[in-house]
Every structure is written in C-alpha cells, then in structure tokens.
Chain A
Amino acid sequence: MPAPNFCPRGSYVSANALKSPRTALELRRIIIGRIGWCLCGLGLLLVIGPLIDIVAVVTWHGIAAFSPHLFTENTTGPNGGLANAIAGTFLITLFAMLIAIPLGVSAGIHLSEYGRGKLASATRFMSDTLTGTPSIVLGYFSYIVMIIGLGWGFSLAAASITIAILIVPYLARITELSLQQVPNTMREAAYALGAKDSTVVFKVVLPAASSGVLTGALLALAISVGETAPLIYTAGWSNYGWNGQFAHEPVAYLTYVIWTFIDQPDAKSHALAFAAAFLVMVVVLAINVGVRLTVRRKKLV
C-alpha cells in the first residue's frame, strides 16, 4: 500500500491516496461538480464577453469614423462633424455639476456630521428613492415644470437642472460615506481647539475625505455625460453651437446623435453615431477605470 501522501485539498484524500475504485455515486458527484464549474465559467464568459464585444465594436467603428473635422464642424444632417454636440454635452455637464456639487456635498455633510434622528433618515430614504427613480420620469417632470410650466422651452437651463436632480443623490451618498470614514478623534481635536462647525468641516473633515468626494464628483460626471433619457424632453436638439442663452434655445448633445442617427438609412449617419458613442464611452470608461484603480474596492456606489 503506498504511503498516504499529504493532499492540501482534504476532500480528495479518500479517493486519491487510497486508490480504491470510485463508486458510481462518487463518480456522479465528481462529474456533476465538473459540469457545474464549467457552467459557472461559461456564465462569467457570457457576462464579460458582451462588454468586450461592445467596446470592440464601438471602438472599431468609432475610430473608422474619426477625423479632425468632427471637432470643428457642426452637425448638418448626416454630414459635418460633432462640434455642436460635443460643446452641448460639455455645457450641460458643466452647469449640472456647478449646481449639483454644492448641493450634494452640503447634503452629504449634513447627513454625515449632524444627520441623526428621523429627519435625516427620511432624507436618506427619499434620496435613495430619487436614485431609483427612472431618469425618463425625471426628464418628463422637468418637461411639464420647466418647458411647459415656466415656458423655458428646450434649453440648457432645463437640461442642466434635470441632470443635477439626477446626480445630487449620488453625490450626497458618496460624500456622506467618505466623510464617515474620517476618525472622530480628528473632529474632537479640532473642536477642543475651539474651532467652529464650519472650520471643522472645511479645514479638517473635508480635506481628510477629499479623495472620496472627488471620486463621487467624477462618477457623477460620468453619469451626466452618458445620460440620454432625461435630455430628450429637456434639451431638444440644435444644429448650431451655443449662443449664450440659458432658456428658449435648444442645445445639442452627444447621446442624441447616437440614438437618432443610427436609425437613419445612410452610412454617413451611422459613422457619426459610432463616433459619438466612441467619445461618450471613452470618457465614461476612462473615468470609471481611473477611479476604480485608485480607490481599490472601496464600496462607494
């Protein structure tokens, strides 16, 4: 009889080391296990495969359609470039962030530093509810309030405010989570030196949590660049660049090009759609990969 060799996987010792023939039951269990693992691996392949295919297809067609005049010419039907759409997406995102960051960070400060009691937990619950609300519902809300009710028409203001409503809850949540990771002793030390509430927050807590808040802002930026549904009813579409008006003047945006131009019959429109999708995807993926590589597996979202 061979010496029973040590096997790190304890479960196989009886089968392997003693070399007794496997019973039909043991065989069946092992085979079921093998099949099960194969199916699990197949599942992972089927999950990651499409992502790789999406990135590959969009990159392939997007790069094929790439040329310098995308950035210099406005869209004129299937011809021209994407300059107006790029500028529009940039402006919508910029003003949405300008509105959302002060609000979201303040809300996060309140919830993390002073947010005990019923009111704060109600705010948290409503914030989660707002995150879960379909973005098209928010867009339609803005349509009836700002476009029809206030009479702004399709406009940069309506689009930016809608996107801001969409991302404020994210910012509040991420700010709250990252401020909570700042140790309490730092706050106590600051208060003990006689610091005011605002000094403690702005000079001690926020600087210590700045990377988390910045992460939140970047993720919110990625969301606002990739959004389409809330803009359909608020931004409209324009073949021209921005003329400085906040209301009564529709704006172009990149994601609009993607979903409408791909439905056109001609190849030029399709090329523009893929170029726009490539730009949007690169921005969104770059932000997310960058954030995830620097902040490793911190459960923030």
Chain B
Amino acid sequence: MKLRPFRLTVLGLSLLIPAALCAVVLFLVLYSGQAIVFNGLRFLTQVNWNLGDLYDDPVVVHGIQVPAGANYGILVFIAGTLASSAIAIVIAVPLAVGASIFLAEIVPSKIRPALSMLVELIAVVPSVVFGLWGIAVLVPFIGHYLSPNGSGYGLLAASIVLALMITPIIASTLLDALLQVPRENRESAFALGATHFEVVMKAIMPMVRTTLIGGIVLALGRALGETMAVLMVSGGGLNILPTSLFSPISTISSFIASQLDSAETDPTNMSVRALAEIALVLFIITLSVNACAKLLSSGVLRVRKRA
C-alpha cells in the first residue's frame, strides 16, 4: 500500500477529537476514584452535602483521607436538575409547537425567514446574558407578583429561563419538519372538509411527531447541562429538597460552578474529587439523553422511507 502522508496527517488530527473525549472521561473517572470508593451509593441517595471541618486534622476512612465530618450527597442537585429541566420542557414544548405551527402555516413565506431567524437567534444569546436578564427582569417580577415569600430566586425562575433557552431548539427542529410534510397530506385533508386548524392538528402533526420528540430530547440534553443562567437565578439551595416552585434550588452544573472556592480550601482534596464525581454523573446523564435523541432521529429516517 502506498504511504499517503497528507491523509495520515488529517487522520491523526481528526483522532484528537475522540482522544479529547476519552481523556475527559478517563481523567474524571481516575480523579474521582477515591471519592467513588468513599461515597459509595450514598452519593446518589443522600441529601446532605457537607465539606466537613477543613481546619481540623483529616480522618482516614478505608485508607482515604477525608476532612472530619465530611459527607457528600447530591440528591438535592439531582432533584433540582430534573425538576428545573422537566418544568422547562413543560413550558417550552407548547410555546415551541405553537410558534412553529404559526410560522409554518400563517406567516407569509416572505417574512418567514426573518421571523425564524429571530427564533434561532435566541439559541445563540450567551447563557450569562440570559442570567443577567433573569436577575434584572424576571426575578423581580416573580418576587413581586407570584412568590409568597417575596423572593424571586428559585425553581420557577430557573425553569422559565431554561425554557426560553431551549424553545428555539425545539421550534427550529419542528419548523424544518413541518415545512417538509408532503403537500398531498394537507390537500387530502382539506378535500375531506377539514378546517385549516384541523388539517394541521390531524394531518400534519402526526407526520412530525417523531421529529418533535427527538427535538424535545435534544433540548432536554441542553437544559440538563445548562450552567450560568441557572446559577444566577436559582437561589443556590443546599441540603434541602425543593418543596415548591419558589424553593431555592441548585442543579448539578450550577453547583459545580459555585464550588470553586470550597474546592480550593480543602487540604485533603476530597471535595475536588467529589466534584469530579458530580461532573461524571452529569456527563453520564447528558450522554444518555443525547444518545436517546440520536436514536430517535435515526428512527425518523426509517419511518420516512417506509412511507
């Protein structure tokens, strides 16, 4: 076989991407190893996150040095992540479906590109700007009009900001699918005497259902990993499970972002290891959600070919 230096060079450079991903997984696993041994399954089931006494002599458990009284449980953050993402999806899906149906069916095709560009632009606004808007506009609004305790920071604010951030993902996926539905479907529904709205609901939406679900799962993956906007408006709840829409929460990602200082002050490095374990958990969650989205979108192609 002939040696092809150029092909080998670009092959080598392209392999750096898988190498980077493997390095991320490998180093997170290696670094969190001691934490995984120390925490066991309690990590996922306990509510209490306690760094222990950082100034006292560390104690040795199973041959691992930990600060006295340290206990790492992330159930609160898992609950916060799942709750905020779930509520965000509940808010975002109707908005995205309504908006994309309106764009596809009512808006004249001359101004449709402009409006759909606006929708897509929402997805590129940096999340820290969303957080700033949340603090400046949304949190005072919730605190003033909705919240019983007068504080706007919490689960509801985080969910609304997340919902705004993921709506364009669902909407642009759905809009593309809606515009690709064959004319015959809509025309035959019109010929049967359906009103325009019935055509959309009964003849077009069933055609794009799988795409819609794929888009929702993709958006869920984004919502689960979102950091800055949530960190800024969630209120940073610790050690207590959220009980209402207005409870302060922390998500897994926002908690990691907020723990820099405490990670630096721990002489045993155990909290850094525990944070690596949290990052690993977050990675596994988003990986499985994104894999679901991928499976769903490949399933769509199969259905289209059959039809």
Q: Which residues of chain A have a CB within 8 Å of any CB of chain B?
A: 9-11, 14, 29-30, 32-34, 36-37, 39-44, 46-48, 50-51, 53-54, 57-58, 61, 102-103, 106-107, 109-111, 113-115, 122-123, 125-130, 132-138, 140-141, 144-145, 148-149, 165, 168-169, 172, 196-198, 201, 222, 225-229, 232-233, 255, 258-259, 262, 273-274, 277, 280-281, 284-285, 288-289, 292, 296-297, 299
Contact = CB atoms under 8 A, between A and B. Distances in A.
Interface size class of B (residues with CB under 8 A): 35 or more
Interface string B246-281: 000000010011001000000000001001100100
A247 B283 CA distance: 28
Contacts of A297: 113
B124 A222 contact: yes
B17 A43 contact: no
A55 to B, nearest CB: 8
30 contacts: A36-B197, A36-B201, A40-B102, A40-B105, A41-B102, A41-B106, A43-B98, A44-B102, A44-B103, A47-B164, A47-B168, A54-B125, A106-B13, A107-B14, A113-B10, A125-B294, A126-B21, A127-B18, A129-B287, A133-B24, A134-B227, A137-B24, A140-B256, A144-B27, A172-B14, A229-B253, A259-B232, A284-B124, A288-B121, A296-B113
In the A-B complex, the 5 residue pairs with the closest CB atoms: A43-B98, A134-B225, A226-B126, A33-B197, A107-B14
Contacts of A122: 18
- Residue from B127, B129, B283 having most chain A Cβ neighbours under 10 A: B129
Contacts of B125: 51, 54, 226, 281, 284-285
A134 B256 CA distance: 11
Contact of B137 (A42, A57, A259): A57
Contacts of A9: 196
Given A197-B4, A288-B124, A114 B119 contact: no
B136 interface: yes
A168 B17 contact: yes
Tell me what chain A mostly uses at the interface: helix, strand, loop, or mixed: helix
Given A44-B102, A168-B20, A273-B132, A259 B197 contact: no
Contact of A43 (B99, B128, B272, B282): B99
Given A140-B275, A258-B132, A289-B121, 20 more contacts: A33-B197, A43-B96, A43-B99, A47-B122, A48-B99, A54-B125, A57-B133, A129-B21, A132-B286, A133-B21, A141-B23, A141-B27, A165-B20, A197-B6, A226-B128, A255-B128, A258-B131, A262-B136, A277-B128, A299-B176
B6 A50 contact: no
Nearest to A52: B118
- Residue from B120, B127, B137, B279 having most chain A Cβ neighbours under 10 A: B279
A137 B106 contact: no
Nearest to A227: B126
Interface stretch (B49-57, B143-151, B187-195): B187-195
A58 B99 CA distance: 25
Nearest to A120: B14
A61 B136 CA distance: 10
Contact of B129 (A111, A197, A277): A277
A130 B20 contact: yes
